[in-house]
């Protein structure tokens, strides 16, 4: 092989044929992690465990005749890493917080187990904000996750470490989680494709039911971060527990035939449910990316038209209540509250002081919001919104503010993401413009229930030009 495969799909194929060994792939990624340590992408690198797993993978592959290597797991030997919000057996889970004492996990979390079963090899745990709460990945226990294209700026959050690692070439692809934009925000900040699947598309996401403890729609789902739509499709199929081979990777197969997709009705909207609470200022670059995406989709033969979407003016208040309600259930050792970040501490105090009835009312309103937007968006095959409203803020820009102003800046930066989590529908973030600075500006596409493959097809169409 003349060059090491850079894409996840090419690397996966080379690993399965034996052109590249799992050890070589792991060593290459570990070298890049060391070379770009200044990005703060990783909280913990598990190099010894990764190399041992790679050697075991190579031994299993070597025991198979060449014509039987198709029996290898779908992601045989593929290096990945997990957010430090999920359990990896034998590795401490910090949740990005100084307020808890991390202990080595007794077993893999469900999503981790699915990818391990698929043959992927974890290289470590990536940087996250405390308890995954914020749209930037800064905490009190490790250096912040920095944007590979401008290290003075954030990589986003809460999957910021994972996004920085993929964008910088430390990993070919990475799993993330998204409870209000936590895949799509860092994807847009770092010029990646980020898929937020619909609730239930990844079976592990329904382990605790479709609603949270207060009856609100369950917000958090798992999805891929990748440099291309094809690579995102590869990881998404494995996150769903699908195998490899003919018919076993339906999303990947669909995206490889993306050029055939045409004639969709796509509604274009820049309305945000946060507008009733505060202005949603879109930068010129954000507007231009939205306009360019509309033109490109029309050129692909889709019917692109303005969508007049109207949102519940009380959304911001109800979402904030539901988003922070879980903090009231967080149990800490005496005195540990002082080790929380200011934002977490303030919003936890408010959640604890709030009557349960208020949590329940907010949850009920969000269920109504979900039904309403599913009906409005459902008039179209997809809804095209802007991505982020502005460039990624500087490291420290959020934490220099009061908790309320910090939260407001997050909502102004990412005013289009959380509403999709409430709806339970899938959405994809796609880079559209590369700016002179090297940073990019992208858009979001919201799809129908079960429409993840179609969204990745549209992402492929936007990127293949």
Per domain, the residue ranges of the chain are: 8-463
Q: Tell me what pLDDT residue 245 has.
A: 66
Question: Residue 107 burial (CB < 10 Å; 0-12/13-18/19+)?
Answer: exposed
Average pLDDT over residues 359-365: 98
pLDDT attached to residue 292: 98
Identify the helix (H) or strand (E) that includes residue 101: none
Total-model pTM: 0.98
- What average pLDDT does the segment 366-391 reach? 98
> Is-catalytic flag, 440?
no
Which of 21, 83, 162, 238 is catalytic? The answer is 83
Q: Assess contact for 195 and 232: CB atoms under 8 A.
A: yes
Catalytic residue among 158, 162, 177, 222: 158
Active site residue 24: no
Whole-number pLDDT of residue 2: 54
Q: What is the mean pLDDT of residues 165-190?
A: 98
Can you list the alpha helix ranges (DSSP code H) found in 168-310? 184-190, 229-239, 250-256, 284-299
If we measure between CA atoms, which residue out of 387, 400, 369 comes closest to residue 431? 387
Of the residues 177, 182, 244, 418, only one is catalytic, namely 182
Give tens-digit pLDDT for 112-155: 999 999 999 999 999 999 999 999 999 999 999 999 999 999 99
* 83 among known catalytic residues: yes
Write down the pLDDT at residue 1: 46
The answer to whether the CB of 225 falls within 8 A of the CB of 162 is yes
What is the predicted pLDDT for the residue at 246?
A: 65
Share of the chain above pLDDT 90, in %: 95
For residue range 227-238, what is the model confidence (pLDDT) as tens digits? 999 999 999 999
CATH class of 8-463: alpha beta
């Amino acid at each position: 092989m003349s060059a090491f495969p850079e894409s996840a799909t090419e690397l996966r194929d080379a690993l399965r044929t034996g052109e590249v060994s799992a050890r070589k792939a792991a060593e290459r990624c570990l070298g890049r992690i060391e070379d770009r340590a200044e990005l703060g992408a990783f909280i913990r690198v598990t190099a010894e465990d990764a190399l041992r797993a790679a050697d075991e993978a190579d031994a299993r592959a070597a025991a198979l005749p060449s014509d039987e290597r198709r029996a290898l797991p779908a992601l045989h030997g593929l290096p990945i890493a997990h957010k430090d919000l999920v359990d990896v057996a034998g590795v401490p889970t910090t949740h990005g917080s100084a307020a808890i004492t991390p202990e080595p996990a007794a077993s893999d979390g469900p999503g981790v187990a699915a990818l391990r079963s698929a043959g992927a090899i974890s290289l470590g745990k990536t940087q996250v904000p405390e308890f995954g709460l914020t749209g930037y990945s800064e905490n009190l226990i490790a250096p912040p996750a920095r944007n590979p294209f401008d290290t003075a700026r954030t990589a986003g959050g809460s999957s910021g470490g994972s996004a920085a690692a993929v964008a910088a070439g430390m990993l070919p692809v990475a799993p993330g989680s998204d409870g209000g934009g936590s895949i799509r925000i860092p994807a847009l900040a770092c010029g990646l494709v980020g898929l937020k699947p619909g609730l239930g598309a990844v079976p592990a996401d329904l382990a605790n039911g479709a609603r949270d403890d207060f009856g609100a729609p369950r917000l958090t789902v798992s999805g891929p971060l990748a440099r291309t739509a094809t690579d995102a499709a590869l990881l998404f199929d494995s996150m769903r527990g699908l195998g490899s081979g003919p018919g076993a990777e339906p999303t990947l197969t669909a995206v490889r035939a993306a050029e055939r997709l045409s004639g969709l009705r796509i509604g274009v909207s820049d309305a945000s449910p946060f507008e009733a609470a505060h202005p949603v200022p879109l930068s010129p670059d954000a507007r231009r990316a939205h306009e360019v995406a509309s033109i490109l989709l029309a050129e692909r033969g889709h019917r692109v038209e303005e969508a007049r979407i109207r949102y519940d003016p009380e959304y911001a208040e109800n979402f904030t209540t539901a988003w922070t309600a879980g903090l009231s259930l967080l149990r800490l050792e005496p005195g540990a509250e002082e080790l929380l970040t200011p934002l977490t501490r303030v919003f936890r105090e408010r959640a604890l002081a709030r009557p349960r009835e208020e949590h329940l009312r907010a949850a009920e309103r969000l269920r109504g919001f979900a039904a309403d937007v599913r009906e409005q968006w459902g008039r179209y095959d997809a809804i095209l919104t802007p991505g982020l409203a502005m460039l990624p803020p500087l490291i420290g820009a959020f934490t220099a503010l009061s908790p309320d102003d910090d939260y407001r800046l997050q909502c102004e930066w990412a005013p289009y993401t959380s509403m999709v989590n409430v709806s339970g529908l899938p959405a994809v973030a796609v880079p559209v413009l590369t700016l002179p600075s090297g940073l990019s500006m992208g858009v979001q596409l919201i799809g129908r229930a079960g429409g993840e493959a179609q969204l990745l097809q549209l992402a492929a169409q936007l990127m293949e030009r």
